[in-house]
């Protein structure tokens, strides 16, 4: 059932969690284990959980001896090919502690824009969840081109939430909530709740993420939250370090009320 407030989050039966590259790669690779702890707790209480994880390119970069995110498409694709394999291995290695099996789902924008591949993706995801598998979704960066990309995994997560009829979407990053202005600026105040249809007038929303390996910022998360809320999915934006509190229904992050 779709939670109507944070307190209802533990009752959500189908949950999509999205985590960004900067939260689980490089020096933050150690955050995979506590993230998995929180996902396993929700899975253990009977929820169906889907993880949308960025990080393939960032994870592959050291193995291609790259110091910064590549700008050309071919090298991005090569880094993603190497990194996706390593990323899923790291998740599965952590999930083994809970006897949870992951399933890899790689999508392109075209898969969700056209009816036949969209229905195929929906059927596959539904079956994985019915089998108590934890799908790990990412954009198929190895074959996607600039013209057919989702643009960022916040949008992908919102579309996946709509595709599978999720009750809750949790968008994780390195910032603990949405603020009235970029949080490093004086006077910034946390926005605890956004009512459905609220235009957020007067709120200064940044368009770029803080880390050099990610592609999304607050603007992409707000846009994704609106897409998911429009489809009837409740949304919570918070920090990766607070995912356990988020899935337990505690007062963290910014809550987006879903359409009824």
To 5 degrees, how large is the angle CA 199–CA 221–CA 211?
135
- The total of other beta-carbon atoms located within 10 Å of residue 170's CB is 30
Here the contacts of 82-85 (C-beta below 8 Å, separation 24 or greater) are 83/55, 83/56, 83/57, 83/58, 83/59, 84/56, 84/59, 84/60, 84/138, 84/141, 84/142
- Residues contributing to the annotated binding site for substrate: 54, 141, 153
Residues 241 and 253: their CA atoms lie apart, in Å, by 11
Is there a contact between 246 and 236 (Cβ–Cβ < 8 Å)?
yes
- Residues contributing to the annotated binding site for ATP: 18, 173-174
- Residues contributing to the annotated binding site: 18, 54, 141, 153, 173-174
Residues 78 and 172: their CA atoms lie apart, in Å, by 26
Joined together, the tokens standing for residue 57 give 């390119």
């Amino acid at each position: 059932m779709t939670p109507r407030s944070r307190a209802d989050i533990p009752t959500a039966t189908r949950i999509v969690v999205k985590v960004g590259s900067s939260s689980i790669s490089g020096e933050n690779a150690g955050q995979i284990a506590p993230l998995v702890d929180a996902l396993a707790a929700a899975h253990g209480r009977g929820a169906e959980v889907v993880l949308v994880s960025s990080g393939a390119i960032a994870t592959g970069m050291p193995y291609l001896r790259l110091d910064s995110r590549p700008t050309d498409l071919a090298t991005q694709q090569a880094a993603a090919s190497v990194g996706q394999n390593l990323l899923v291995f790291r998740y599965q290695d952590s999930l083994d502690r809970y006897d949870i099996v992951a399933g890899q789902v790689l999508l392109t924008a075209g898969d969700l824009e056209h009816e036949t591949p969209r229905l195929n993706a929906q059927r596959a995801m539904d079956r994985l969840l019915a089998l108590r598998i934890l799908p790990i979704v990412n954009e198929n960066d190895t074959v996607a081109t600039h013209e057919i990309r989702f643009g960022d995994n916040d949008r992908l997560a919102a579309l996946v939430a709509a595709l599978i009829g999720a009750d809750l979407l949790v968008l994780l990053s390195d910032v603990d909530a949405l603020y009235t202005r970029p949080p490093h600026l004086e006077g910034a105040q946390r926005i605890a709740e956004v009512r459905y249809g609220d235009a957020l007038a007067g709120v200064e929303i940044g368009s770029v993420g803080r880390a050099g390996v990610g592609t999304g910022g607050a603007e992409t998360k707000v846009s994704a939250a609106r897409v998911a809320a429009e489809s009837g999915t409740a949304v919570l934006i918070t920090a990766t370090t607070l995912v356990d509190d988020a899935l337990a229904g505690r007062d963290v992050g910014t809550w987006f009320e879903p359409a009824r």
